[in-house]
């Protein structure tokens, strides 16, 4: 079966949006989403600003795959505790597990993948 979604994209063509968990300068590119693309996964490029700490949260139905491209921060994963987050790391947060990225010392840029797809969440205006 031939997919109905766009099978290739240039990330530079995907617009940045405000990150839905921070109204102070962090941003997100929703590269693939179920709502916009009809894909079974969600793929994002995320940039989290220096000084930010995200609230602890869970993703009930999907693991959270994180590939850290740059930056310095602290990551917390329930059952693992806290550890330094740094470029080159790949992290798999299990479904329904509390986690956060906090104490961002240097802007963090990461790829984030969810399968099955998580809902597209535009920033609140």
The pLDDT of residue 123 is above 90: no
Token pair for 37: 């693309």
pLDDT at 6: 83
Question: Cis peptide before 116, with omega less than 30 degrees from 0?
Answer: yes
Distance (Å, whole) CA 65 – CA 80? 15
The pLDDT of residue 2 is above 80: no
- CATH code reported for the domain at 50-106: 2.60.120.10
Region 60-65: mean pLDDT is 94
Q: 125 or 27: whose pLDDT is higher?
A: 27
The pLDDT of residue 125 is above 80: no
pLDDT digits (tens, 9 = 90+) for 76-108: 999 999 999 999 999 999 999 999 999 999 999
Nearest CA to 69 out of 108, 24, 22 is that of: 108
Domain residue ranges in the chain: 50-106
């Amino acid at each position: 079966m031939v997919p109905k979604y766009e099978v290739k994209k240039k990330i530079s063509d995907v617009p940045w949006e405000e990150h839905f968990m921070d109204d102070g300068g962090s941003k997100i590119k929703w590269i693939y989403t179920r709502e916009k693309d009809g894909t079974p996964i969600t793929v994002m490029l995320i940039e989290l600003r220096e000084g930010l700490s995200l609230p602890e949260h869970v993703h009930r139905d999907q693991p959270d795959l994180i590939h850290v491209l740059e930056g310095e921060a602290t990551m917390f994963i329930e059952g693992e505790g806290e550890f330094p987050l740094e470029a080159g790391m790949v992290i798999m947060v299990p479904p329904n597990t509390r986690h956060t990225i906090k104490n961002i010392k240097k802007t963090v840029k990461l790829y984030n993948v969810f399968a099955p797809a998580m809902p597209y969440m535009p920033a609140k205006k």
